[in-house]
Structure 1
Amino acid sequence: SQQSRGPSEGYSYPVCTTYRRRHPGECRQAAGTCFKCGQTGHLQKDCKKNTTVSTSGQADKKPGASGHVFAITEDHATKTSGTITGTLFIYGHVVFILFDTGATHSVISFVFASRVTTTPTLLDHV
């Protein structure tokens, strides 16, 4: 039986009182500042740093990217039907794995990546 690890293991950032999660630096949400430039009075979507000057001299707004990141706990994943989970032994560490057969990318936690002493290698696209 695998022991559950505490949420603070391997983290060096303080717990944010706004999000109750760890992140570096001052919490810009709590400070009411722009996530892009750190200034007050506007949101990141309205930040002037989102614009570039085109050859016509007019400011062109950079196209926004839309992405989603989802987080799931080991307990939730094992209780959810349709998820494929497993435990693997990687570089001397027991690792809980959530397989997403429809994903285009694989993600590992920062904590685990910091424990691996090998350098990641990019693979050619199949």
Structure 2
Amino acid sequence: MSVVEYTSKFNSLGTYAPAIMADDILKMHRFKRGLNSRIQSALAVYQPTGFDDLVGATIRAETDIKRREDENKNKRPLTGQSFQECRRNTGACFNCGKMGHRIANCPEPLKKMTWSNTNATPNKPKENKTNACMFAITQEEADDANDVVAGTVIINKISAYVLFDCGTTHSFISKRFTKKLGLLPEILVEPFRIATPTSKTIETHKIHRNCIIYINEHTFNAELIQVNMVEFDVIL
């Protein structure tokens, strides 16, 4: 199970444990406990600022682990050329590997040698796997879902039409609304690839950190990924 799939399931099951989901520290603790041991080790010294920050760090850790695994898989055995160079350096016979004679004078029957060609099979292109997903992006999709609610809240002291979606793995902000807030995005080296309800993948390099959300006299910091959407200002 990928981190994105695990996060989706965690948020879905979290609706049955509202006390845990309401406590950010307890929520992050329970989330960490469900991760595999390698990702837990990678996050051992990381101090997240919030749940969204923890999810982002977890996805980055998973990506890094997979990258190292792929690098190890791509390490090839000794090629024919390297094998020849090794025996040439030692003076051993190319046929039997023994010292004192060359392949032309080898007393043993010539062996059929096969050499691996490092250029024969090109590396496969990296798959553009999604590392985030949203389960509703339009008003119609929100109306069809039973685990979302829409309403107006204050973000950075400006009124915003917000969709609260407990199945979404990250929080998002529309490009149009960022201009209204006067925000400048942080440009990411690795993009977010977001799976949408229509199976379309949205890719973005832009994120807005430390956006302040005001709800019932409480304030929350949020990291909002910038996407092109029309019907909502923000999805949380």
Report the TM-score when normalising by structure 1: 0.39
Richer in helix (by share)? 2
Higher relative contact order (CA 8 A, sep 6+): 2
Report the TM-score when normalising by structure 2: 0.24
Richer in strand (by share)? 2
